[in-house]
Structure 1
């Protein structure tokens, strides 16, 4: 009874922001400092930022010796600011991956707080608090807080912008110039983070609202949009451009136009027309995995959708649907699919879910949707730590006690929430789900993942190299058969990524004090090429494990000329 009373009083707390911050930190800090750098995207972003810090060039984005003309520089500037700030305070942050994750954590926190603060105008204070608490434990957001890249910060920009747009839509006469300036400013920052994605979401929502709000019987082109005048686009669009244009002009000059050719013609259009980097997915994929990506709140959102559609004539609901539906459908149509692409719609979905959960006159969904939601809840609550434990058993041949604790926590979570569902206590269930998700996530993020030594090849190879050749300059180290960006972050941007065993032998012969790491598939060719050059090799140790990106075992042996 005490727990039930606590959950009932929580939306009325005098310190809602403080409670939400505490919840977010409990959910997100496990693993934040201990999970090593991810092999691909995270290390690409972090290493490019570190090269900015070391070179002092904050216009061009480079990874090693290669230009990285895919995303704007906004997230790199945020990461560099954190690194400089920590180092000014005496914290050696340049080689610590967690320092580059701080903007992601702060961006996610800003998105949660904006869901509450700006969502109050759409669904009321109590439901907005519950919605923010539902957003915080969403699995895709929990993952993004642990990755040093753009998407959590982008979510903050979009959530703030859409929250302000919602106020303009509901009460255009009370929407001040300051609010309008904030709307365009955060969109400008969003453009600096990920190009057109930030303004795309309000643009699609605005088109949808203008079409749906047109007077009955009016011509298609006679649109009704008083909120548009409230947003003051006449000076707002130039303000948005002012935030982003200087860097785009500078990068265009610095790269002689290559940035735009590669970012637009290669990266963006490539994702639309084909599954970039084997990330293709069929239409409907995001709907199919929603129970996972939005765990543990998906089971409530799914129940809320039928009533939301039935009440689409209500202005707040119409706005939230306009925020969600066109953006979701667009990403379903794009060939390249990654789970976080639809994350900008999650605040709206959580607001719809919380509105339903806190409504005493809520309408029960079709029975099959309830069963689907329950299955998603139970399956992920138990399945997430179960999969983590199975991975530990498969990769390292050991039973992971933290996975067992996580399975127990997940089972307890499912039992509690299903009991609350039977009692129709949906507001309590939403808040309890966010709180009970803490031990489930902690068991995996702090207990299992950092302890999977076999999959963290780059830090182990860097440690082995430091043991046999401390202080080796990164340009004197070459590697064959393992070119993951995490190795560049671990060892430096000037390491040599060599093509094959013959290239490794040539690299060793090219100067004194050099070391190469050669994978097992290239070792025979490397030894043969070294023998042809008359090199006497000395093996310095081997690091073996699983390259989880490619799904295959790798053994990397270190060699130098004796």
Structure 2
């Protein structure tokens, strides 16, 4: 695999109009928007992370306190404030332009959308020096279509924005590695400032990737001539200075609790145990790569044997150093979620695209190609079956989702397979990215928003508004479904109650209060209300599926009777 610009144009990207090939950045931005905008405005706030992040930002906006991070009455000392500042800025701009407001979940998703776009553009911009212009374009398009990035672009949290900082930092690092003599002080400053921004987004995760890559390259090359070009003497203080003011402020504001809980309670618990039941054995990311990186994963899998054989080639060496050590760390950490390895995807997509665009490519063994393509076909079929199963089980209507999604999944697999059989591997990769557009649109816009039982909090808010219009959030309590989306939908002053007895006592604490009681707590609520001689009346109910716990729940709404 020759990781350089091919000497003669490879027309396997003919799936894209030549006019857009002449404007690659515009084409990539349009592709990102087509892939990610379906569902962006229509999906309600999801549990749990998105609603936690958005609610914390909403409380920052309401309180004017942009240092401390709180969800409801509790401190959230897990992640730095960078993403909250980005979300707050997004909401301020949209409110000033009268395009959206702080009650719209999509307003908090804008930084994720922009972060994903910047990551794709950074992959193309700096990937050109590693794999050539056409392969960099293909790699960026494959990154844009990765299922995990599509999902993260729809979620108001840190990971898409973090990806943008890592892609930019590693792109600059690549320039220092390949041409240390031409690496300028301005580029070095950009490298360290971007890492400072990544620290404000997710602490040490962003700097970890270039650090491990640098150690790996120094050992493999038996030297690090690129280190002087990065100017760490003043670069490291610059990185610290970019992030330090908030860390000092939050340390003072929380009397040190932030560091105790962020390091001891969050980071170390993820390393040593499966936090929130997200534990998995080593190999999890390898086994799920075909899903997370769909539809381009199969091309990456085909490319990896050649990439390893050509690991002495400097660009290949750099891309492998970007991936391998950090991947091993993520596999070793006990807590595992599909998006944790997302910062490594730009390098993987560039390796796959470089192989696909190389006219002298070496094909892997036939059995390996079959395994890789089987992963593509199985994931496409799985998307269709999962959509059908969700629609059938939740809405009690079968075939409706399958008739929408299955033909699109089958079309993607067939066209990609046909292009690959004809030797157009680059065209196959780009077709996968383009055909993911209608497939993702069908799922994210046509199926997911219509799964009403999943969206308990918005339906609860609508029922409450109909039965008790204008009720202040402080006069509402809930037990049996204490998910963060309830706070985002109804307000941070909602009382999250532990038991049905607590719900009865809360209802008796004021004349205009309302409680929502889960069906599992109903008996205790009624017993305590009887013991308190509390008159009450049922004013509505909401039934839905709590997907974070995997069970159905019915919430009964009670108001104190006159």
User: Aligning the two structures, in what range does the TM-score lie when normalised by the shorter sequence?
Assistant: over 0.9
In the other structure, the counterpart of 1:54 is 62
Pairing 1:291-302 to 2, within 5 Å after superposition: 291-302=290-301
Runs of 4+ displaced beyond 4 Å: 8-12
Pairing 1:123-522 to 2, within 5 Å after superposition: 123-214=131-222, 224-399=223-398, 401-522=400-521
**In the TM superposition, what whole-angstrom CA distance separates every residue of 1:201-253 from its partner, at most 9, and x where no partner exists?**
00000000000001xxxxxxxxx111110011111111111110000000000
| Cα distance in structure 2, aligned partners of 1:161 and 1:461 | 44
Contact 2:198 2:206 (C-alpha < 8 Å) held by counterparts: yes
Aligned to 2:156, the other structure's residue is in SS state coil
Offset, 1:376:
1.1
Contact 2:14 2:427 (C-alpha < 8 Å) held by counterparts: no
Offset, 1:6:
3.1
**In the TM superposition, what whole-angstrom CA distance separates every residue of 1:390-446 from its partner, at most 9, and x where no partner exists?**
111012211353442211011011111111111111010111110011111111100
Aligned to 2:363, the other structure's residue is in SS state coil
Does 1:120 pair with 2:119?
no
Aligned to 1:544, the other structure's residue is in SS state strand
| Cα distance in structure 2, aligned partners of 1:24 and 1:55 | 34
| Cα distance in structure 2, aligned partners of 1:472 and 1:92 | 23
Does 1:41 pair with 2:40?
no
Contact 1:358 1:427 (C-alpha < 8 Å) held by counterparts: yes
Contact 1:70 1:259 (C-alpha < 8 Å) held by counterparts: yes
| Cα distance in structure 1, aligned partners of 2:224 and 2:85 | 36
| Cα distance in structure 2, aligned partners of 1:338 and 1:286 | 8
Contact 2:212 2:326 (C-alpha < 8 Å) held by counterparts: yes
**In the TM superposition, what whole-angstrom CA distance separates every residue of 1:88-111 from its partner, at most 9, and x where no partner exists?**
112341000000000000000000
1, 21, 32: which is aligned to 1:24?
Answer: 32
| Cα distance in structure 2, aligned partners of 1:400 and 1:257 | 55
| Cα distance in structure 1, aligned partners of 2:368 and 2:288 | 15
| Cα distance in structure 1, aligned partners of 2:556 and 2:141 | 48
Aligned to 1:330, the other structure's residue is in SS state helix
Aligned to 1:136, the other structure's residue is in SS state helix
| Cα distance in structure 1, aligned partners of 2:399 and 2:485 | 25
**In the TM superposition, what whole-angstrom CA distance separates every residue of 1:475-506 from its partner, at most 9, and x where no partner exists?**
00000111000000000001001111111111
| Cα distance in structure 2, aligned partners of 1:229 and 1:11 | 41
Contact 2:12 2:425 (C-alpha < 8 Å) held by counterparts: no
Aligned to 2:145, the other structure's residue is in SS state coil
Q: TM-score if structure 1 supplies the norm length? A: 0.97
RMSD between aligned residues:
1.2
| Cα distance in structure 1, aligned partners of 2:529 and 2:412 | 59
Contact 2:13 2:427 (C-alpha < 8 Å) held by counterparts: no
| Cα distance in structure 2, aligned partners of 1:127 and 1:203 | 26
| Cα distance in structure 2, aligned partners of 1:450 and 1:354 | 34
Q: TM-score if structure 2 supplies the norm length? A: 0.97
Offset, 1:561:
1.0
Contact 1:12 1:126 (C-alpha < 8 Å) held by counterparts: no
Change (3 A) 1:10 1:325: farther
Q: How many equivalent pairs are there?
A: 551
Contact 1:11 1:130 (C-alpha < 8 Å) held by counterparts: no
Change (3 A) 1:507 1:77: same
**In the TM superposition, what whole-angstrom CA distance separates every residue of 1:345-372 from its partner, at most 9, and x where no partner exists?**
1000000000000001000112222111
In the other structure, the counterpart of 1:67 is 75
Contact 1:385 1:407 (C-alpha < 8 Å) held by counterparts: yes
Between 526-535 and 72-81, the greater mean CA deviation after superposition: 526-535
| Cα distance in structure 1, aligned partners of 2:452 and 2:114 | 29
| Cα distance in structure 2, aligned partners of 1:212 and 1:10 | 41
Question: Which consecutive residues of structure 1, in runs of 5 or more, have no partner in the other structure?
Answer: 215-223
